[in-house]
A = this chain, B = another copy of it.
Amino acid sequence: VMALRARVLYDFTSENPGEISVKENEIVTLYSEQDIEGWLEGTNGHGERGLFPASYVEIQKSDISTSFNNNSSSVDAYQASRYANIPAGGFQPSYKTQNQVENYNKAPALNFTTFPATTSQHPPQSYPVSQGSDDDWDDDWDDNSTVADEPGVVSGGFHDFEGNGPSTYRVSTSSMSRGGNAQHAKSSATVSRNLNRFSTFVKSGGEAFVLGEASGFVKDGDKICVVMGQHGPEWQENPYPFTCTIDDPTKQTKFKGMKSYISYKLTPTHTQSAVNRRYKHFDWLYARLVEKFPVISVPHIPEKQATGRFEEDFISKRRKGLIWWMNHMTSHPVLARCDVFQHFLTCSSTDEKAWKQGKRKAEKDEMVGANFFLTISTPGAPLDLQEVESKTDGFKAFTKKMDDSVIQVNATLSEFARKQIAGFKKEYQKVGQSFKYLSQAFELDQQTYSVGLNQAIAYTGETYEAIGDYFVEQPKQDVDPVLDLLALYQGHLANYPDIIHVQKGALTKVKESQKHVEEGKMERQQADGIMERCNIISFATLAEIQHFHQTRVRDFKAQMQHYLQQQITFFQKVTGKLEEALRKYDDA
């Protein structure tokens, strides 16, 4: 296989995530000679992988053989297939040229839906994730103070309440440190370049798969089935369902106490054997999953945190976040069964060799990205792609509105909790104190017929102070679990634009190919292959959407019930306390 190289013509200094700096005359290795919106991807002399302007380099051919992209497709094969359906002069590079626009303008009757990058409201989910070496692995990533500096780590969308302590809740949506929002702000500034360069459709392998460029050996165990259920395509249920508990967060030290970390005890029900895992293990696993599954919404892990990592509140909060995450992992038919997750759940934490073996195997997994689609087995009857598009559009609108309302519920309940902890408590305590003060005044009269009343009023005062404390404790019981749920779903909602983008990209390729066939620029057979592969992506996407809805209904039903039950318990507790106070007057 021929490797691609290029000589750098001018110095270029990276300005954005994903870019690398290159120096004049440096030789860079390319992953493809095909640019993406004027950018090329490659590795520079320092071993950094990323993008640089295509016009800054001069492509050379060399005979140095190297393997990229899961060692699967040769560059030649890649190029061949890539160009196969593109008109002379190249389609991709001229995507935005006047020529291309004319093409679109000439065929308005085709009911084309274009997906310019700027319409995507969300950042790409599936950045290429650095496959940390074992040396990296030993570094305590978790200790880094700046999450943004983490190389190649996808930051979770988990709502971060930490650092405010238990008694403060952030209020407005604008001030909320929502992973998604933060990414938003960052990406919107560079959206016109970034999203093109990191087009999820391309990066996820979706495009490569649709164009028939994916190839790999699918073992029986890797096979993932989409079946037709009552409500449309769905992932085949896991025949061996299991759950996994996360307990005993324990502080551990290494390097003679120089480094500390928290270890969690994971006990999956299908092995009944506990393993200890650290946050960085979750983080590593998360990166593998994001890389592997282009149209599956991998639940975000709780956000990294620089300070206060050993505080009880934080540990308890992170554990709850990890439990939610685990719940979503084990209940997902595809995620629950995948090798890397099983390795994570079952490999003995003391057998370092076995761990590293499994780890390396996962990092070298060929069936990631484009090849993941190879593992999908669909029902015989193909989907109506028009219907797929309509469903996808509907789901897009759904996620948009759900995201808005989740933000609102989040803000409102946070404020509600804050009010209970501060304002409500204060009001009840003030009432309690004034009753106590009244009873103290009344105690100046100690006639026999007064004493009972004095005591009863004093008790009423204490009761109101106690109710004030109930209000402080309550949000932990009801609001916090809802906020945890919302945070998890904010993560999912941040994933879906990319998933939808892949689906839409595939549909667009089908439309393009049909147009090319009509124009005689493509063989019917080739277009049929594209449609078949789009069908596979569509089955997977719709199955994932179905899974999302089912999980959503399950989770929100359970959580609303829990919330209301806790609220009922709270008001019953208040009522009981007041009844106790009232009884004190019986003998007064």
Asked whether A529 is an interface residue with its Cβ less than 8 Å from the other chain, the reply is: no
Contact A405 B444 (CB under 8 A): no
Contact B557 A453 (CB under 8 A): yes
Contact B557 A585 (CB under 8 A): yes
Contact B401 A416 (CB under 8 A): no
Asked whether A75 is an interface residue with its Cβ less than 8 Å from the other chain, the reply is: no
A204 smallest CB distance to B (angstroms)? 25
Contact with B along A398-437 (1 / 0, CB 8 A): 1001101110110111011001000110010011011101
Interface size class of A (residues with CB under 8 A): 35 or more
Q: Which listed residue, B424, B430, B435, B556, touches A415 by the CB 8 Å rule?
A: B430
Asked whether A431 and B405 contact (CB < 8 A) given A445-B549, A560-B456, A571-B571, the answer is no
What's the number of copies of this chain in the assembled complex?
A: 2
Asked whether A210 is an interface residue with its Cβ less than 8 Å from the other chain, the reply is: no
Q: Which residue of chain B is the closest to A545 with respect to CB atoms?
A: B445
Which residues of chain A from 493 to 507 have any CB-CB distance to chain B below 8 Å in the complex?
Answer: none
Contact B582 A568 (CB under 8 A): yes
Contact A415 B427 (CB under 8 A): yes
Contact A416 B437 (CB under 8 A): no
Which residues of chain A from 120 to 136 have any CB-CB distance to chain B below 8 Å in the complex?
Answer: none
Contact with B along A32-48 (1 / 0, CB 8 A): 00000000000000000
Contact B556 A457 (CB under 8 A): yes
Contact B453 A556 (CB under 8 A): yes
Asked whether A378 is an interface residue with its Cβ less than 8 Å from the other chain, the reply is: no
A438 smallest CB distance to B (angstroms)? 4
Asked whether A240 is an interface residue with its Cβ less than 8 Å from the other chain, the reply is: no
Asked whether A434 and B457 contact (CB < 8 A) given A402-B442, A440-B401, A553-B449, the answer is no
Contact B424 A409 (CB under 8 A): no
Among A217-225, A327-335, A573-581, the one that faces the other chain is A573-581
C-alpha spacing A431/B414, complex, angstroms:
10
Q: Which listed residue, B231, B416, B581, touches A564 by the CB 8 Å rule?
A: B581
Question: Given A408-B437, A449-B549, A453-B557, 13 other A-B contacts at CB below 8 A?
Answer: A231-B448, A398-B445, A405-B434, A409-B435, A411-B434, A412-B433, A419-B427, A450-B549, A457-B556, A564-B582, A567-B578, A571-B571, A571-B575
